[in-house]
Structure 1
Amino acid sequence: MESIKVALLGFGTVGQGTFELLVKNGDLIANRVGAPLQVTKIYVRNKAKYSHIALPEGTQFVESVEDVFTDPTIQVVVEVMGGTTFARECVEKALTLGKSVVTANKDLLAEAGPFLLDLAAKHKVDLRYEASVLGGIPIIRTLYESLAGNRITEIVGILNGTTNFILSNMTEKGAGYQEVLAEAQALGYAEADPTADVEGLDAARKLAILSSIAFNRRIFFEDVSVEGITKIDATDIAFGKEFGYTIKLLGIAKETKKGLSLNVHPSFISSDHPLASVRGSYNALYVKGNGIDDAMFYGRGAGSLPTGSSIVGDVMEVAKNIRTHHLGALQPFYFSEKNLYASGKIESSYYIRILVDNSTGVLAKVATKLAEQRISVQAVTQRNESETTSTIAIVTSSCPRSYIVNVINAFNNLRVVREVGSVIPIMAD
């Protein structure tokens, strides 16, 4: 049976993992697809860099991407270069030429996913992107297909393995942020420039992609409110343990009668919650729907082979569609109204840590400011730091975020308050 020809754009960590699986599991893949898959061209900028790699017969490196686009035998293009400029040009050109595309590029999809899906539908080809979110965890297809009959009301996830590794180690070792970040970089979990991870940008892109599917909206990266983990202190983690909480960087998308809220931020969760047990560089997603109730998906969120596994699964689905003449069947559908809910109106309990004078009546003054903003207190603890200073840790009742902003301003105007340290939302069970 004639093979289905595939091209790779890029041959980095993920590209090599994808190629390895396509070759190593070739017989199994051919059996399940009904036809063999053959990678015939691999686009790289410098072939000499890969001169030590022996390619199988029929596969070649090319230094011009036009060699891929002008080859009429290539039906599937796998984009694993990253970036949002050249990669977008390549994806758009492939789709326009009638070549289906599989990509792991979360940056591109968070910026232009709905537009690219429309383009694929227009040209009656497939655009698949399972590997763009949570690596080897099959969540995109699950939302599109298995849970398609559910009205999803909430998705909550640990969407970034680097930050989960950092926060897990801070929790278990009592170490500070900078110390654990250096360890993560030494082990290869964090990049030399970790900004995208630790500032929550990577998680926000993934949340935008998931939310587009889960809530039938045209959601983009800029729709997500983002806060990273760089201000988290070992002191906050220790207080959290006293209150029965574990800290995680969470992506939370929730639909209510008031609208859709999209947020990435550090959050305390009950130490009994399933997400609290997700340690190290693992990822997890918690989904609530009106049919399934609650479901959790857990696994490796990155890496050469886990991500490659998702890409290969997508390539196989596209290949099946080529064989059965069903390309372009996955149509994008979106509600016309986005209806986003302002972050200041989102209600939650909060943890607040403040450094105050160690003197009589300070706690009463703090309580008065909370009462003035109509914020009640669920728990409070005070710890003397020295003869002159104390730390007060407060857990509030549920209230709008705007109330918390107001009370922080009030605290900053109190002479007895030396510093407002941390303000961390607490996710309801």
Structure 2
Amino acid sequence: MAAKVGVGLLGLGTVGGGVASILQNPDERHPLVGELELIRVAVRDLNRPRPVALDASLLTTDPSAVIQDPAVDVVVEVIGGLEPARSLILQAIAAGKSVVTANKAVIARHGQEITEAAAAAGVYVLIEAAVGGGIPIIEPLKQSLGGNRINRVSGIINGTTNYILTRMAEEGAAYDAVLKDAQELGYAEADPAADVDGLDAADKIAILATLAFGGSVDRAAVPTEGISGLQGVDVDYANQLGYGVKLLAVAERMAVSGDPLPLSLRVQPTLVPMDHPLAGVNGVNNAILVEGDPIGRVMFYGPGAGAGPTASAVVADILNIAGIRQASDGPGKVDPLLAAGSWRPCALADSGDIRQRHYVRFKTKDAPGVIGNVGGCFGERNVSIQSIVQFNASDAGAEIVVITHEVSQRQMNEALEAIQALPEVSGLAAHLGCL
């Protein structure tokens, strides 16, 4: 029988506890789970109550003791944050240990450094749990879809914001009230900025873009807008016009080619047609839509966070490493598909060149000719309009909602500047993306 595969765990919170629970209860799972042995676990406080009962001899407050333990073959990092997580991952690689991590923030910012270190050391760093919780998307992009020319990856990849937007759409509830409920239910943190400001989704789409298109992107340069400024009236207007509103993360290749490959990445509240595959993704669920040639469209859907789904993805990565280790009867040559390092340079395109449809809402006077003047400003800058509708006309004014056809961001900005200069327009009240 092959030797057990030793697992060292950095962190025993929600996800770490879920991983430990699976390893401690292998019955009715894949037989290889029974060949995984939890060797050491690093925690901050030895006396803190644990989500899973473990022998005290397994616990330590020193992460280095886990990494340097000769019985540990795979180090699992689930402590989160940038540091010391990044340094511990690199320390494990230097010690010749493969790493499994759920840390999207580290991978989005330091993935290239970590990948290069792993390649030099001949070990794996697997990240399935970093995006989409329990949804298998990382390995499909690296392997199953490897024969495709990927054109676009888009998705709902933050469960907190999707829960909030679902409640706003279905109940007409106000953003602040739903956010408070989400915090009480544990869907949102006390400080929800990473979720509601789109930062979490931006980390994830940067990772997906790197895998889909073959090269790392600058996470700090990804245009990011969250939902904290979204008003319920726009969710309602979108619904009346046949759309839902979702916080979408999008990565796509530009129409032009080049070296480096130009990519468009963005995170923003976006109108989604009701018949679109992503429109029916509600609550805390996530979904990622991959579009490529020759496969067409495929969608990955499921729970995007939580102890169970994320721990499932972590253990799947451990099993990948363990399977290769046992098949080769020990550490061996790294599988290039499983490791999936960068293979070409990519760069974010100029934001002015990004093309998409837009939803905009203006506050105006209720006067003859306003819609014509607004439409004229768009037309003079070659911005084609799909629909233009006036809402809530009264003595106090009116609201004009416009949905455009696909147009460059540069043209759109020029048109919006001209419209806001019109004397009958008092302001731009909302500006969202539109599929």
Place the TM-score, normalised by the shorter chain, in its bin.
over 0.9
Q: Aligned AA for 2:10?
A: L
Q: Aligned AA for 1:291?
A: P
Q: Secondary structure at the match of 1:48?
A: coil
Q: In the alignment, what sits opposite 2:351?
A: 343
2:419 pairs with 1:396? no
Q: Secondary structure at the match of 2:278?
A: helix
2:46 pairs with 1:47? yes
CA gap 1:362/1:241 in 2 versus in 1, 3 angstroms: same
8 Å CA contact retained: 1:385, 1:391: yes
Q: Which of 58, 64, 79 is residue 77 of structure 2 equivalent to?
A: 79
Q: Secondary structure at the match of 2:279?
A: helix
Q: Aligned AA for 2:334?
A: G
8 Å CA contact retained: 1:208, 1:223: no
- Structure 1 portions without partners, runs of 5+: none
Give, in whole Å, the separation in 1 of the partners of 2:51 and 2:199. 36
Q: In the alignment, what sits opposite 2:118?
A: 120
Q: Secondary structure at the match of 1:211?
A: helix
2:45 pairs with 1:32? no
What pairs up with 1:116-265 in 2 under 5 angstroms?
116-258=114-256, 259-265=262-268
TM-score normalized with structure 2 length: 0.93
Q: What's the CA shift string for 1:141-181, capped at 9, x where partnerless? A: 11111111111111111010011111111111112211211
Q: What's the CA shift string for 1:203-242, capped at 9, x where partnerless? A: 0100011111110011242242211112211111121122
Of 149-158 and 412-421, the range deviating more from structure 2: 412-421
Q: How far apart are residue 352 of structure 1 and its match?
A: 1.1
8 Å CA contact retained: 1:26, 1:36: no
Q: In the alignment, what sits opposite 1:370?
A: 378
- Structure 2 portions without partners, runs of 5+: 257-261
CA gap 1:327/1:385 in 2 versus in 1, 3 angstroms: farther
Q: Which of 296, 312, 316 is residue 315 of structure 2 equivalent to?
A: 312
8 Å CA contact retained: 1:136, 1:306: yes
Q: Which of 403, 414, 422 is residue 406 of structure 1 equivalent to?
A: 414
Q: In the alignment, what sits opposite 1:298?
A: 301
CA gap 1:340/1:25 in 2 versus in 1, 3 angstroms: same
Q: How far apart are residue 372 of structure 1 and its match?
A: 2.4
Q: RMSD of the TM alignment (CA)?
A: 1.8
Give, in whole Å, the separation in 1 of the partners of 2:28 and 2:302. 26
Give, in whole Å, the separation in 2 of the partners of 1:209 and 1:70. 29
Q: Which of 353, 377, 387 is residue 361 of structure 2 equivalent to?
A: 353
Give, in whole Å, the separation in 2 of the partners of 1:27 and 1:412. 64
Q: In the alignment, what sits opposite 2:23?
A: 22
Instruction: Give every structure 1 segment of 4 or more consecutive aligned residues whose post-TM-superposition deviation is greater than 6 Å.
Output: none
2:426 pairs with 1:418? yes
Q: How far apart are residue 368 of structure 1 and its match?
A: 2.4
8 Å CA contact retained: 2:244, 2:271: yes
Q: How far apart are residue 327 of structure 1 and its match?
A: 5.2
Give, in whole Å, the separation in 1 of the partners of 2:340 and 2:396. 61
Q: Aligned AA for 1:228?
A: G
CA gap 1:327/1:21 in 2 versus in 1, 3 angstroms: farther
Give, in whole Å, the separation in 2 of the partners of 1:337 and 1:313. 29
8 Å CA contact retained: 2:8, 2:67: no
Q: In the alignment, what sits opposite 2:259?
A: none
Q: Aligned AA for 1:261?
A: S
Q: Which of 287, 292, 303 is residue 289 of structure 1 equivalent to?
A: 292
Give, in whole Å, the separation in 1 of the partners of 2:120 and 2:98. 12
Q: What's the CA shift string for 1:21-66, capped at 9, x where partnerless? A: 111125734x236x62111111011101147963259x51101122
8 Å CA contact retained: 2:364, 2:398: yes
8 Å CA contact retained: 2:263, 2:349: yes
CA gap 1:52/1:164 in 2 versus in 1, 3 angstroms: closer
Of 19-28 and 240-249, the range deviating more from structure 2: 19-28
8 Å CA contact retained: 1:318, 1:327: no
8 Å CA contact retained: 2:251, 2:263: yes
Q: Aligned AA for 1:45?
A: R
Identity %: 38
Give, in whole Å, the separation in 1 of the partners of 2:55 and 2:185. 33
Q: Aligned AA for 2:48?
A: K
8 Å CA contact retained: 2:10, 2:43: yes
Give, in whole Å, the separation in 2 of the partners of 1:297 and 1:220. 25
Q: What's the CA shift string for 1:300-341, capped at 9, x where partnerless? A: 010001000000111111112222244522344434431432
Give, in whole Å, the separation in 2 of the partners of 1:24 and 1:45. 24
Give, in whole Å, the separation in 1 of the partners of 2:323 and 2:114. 21
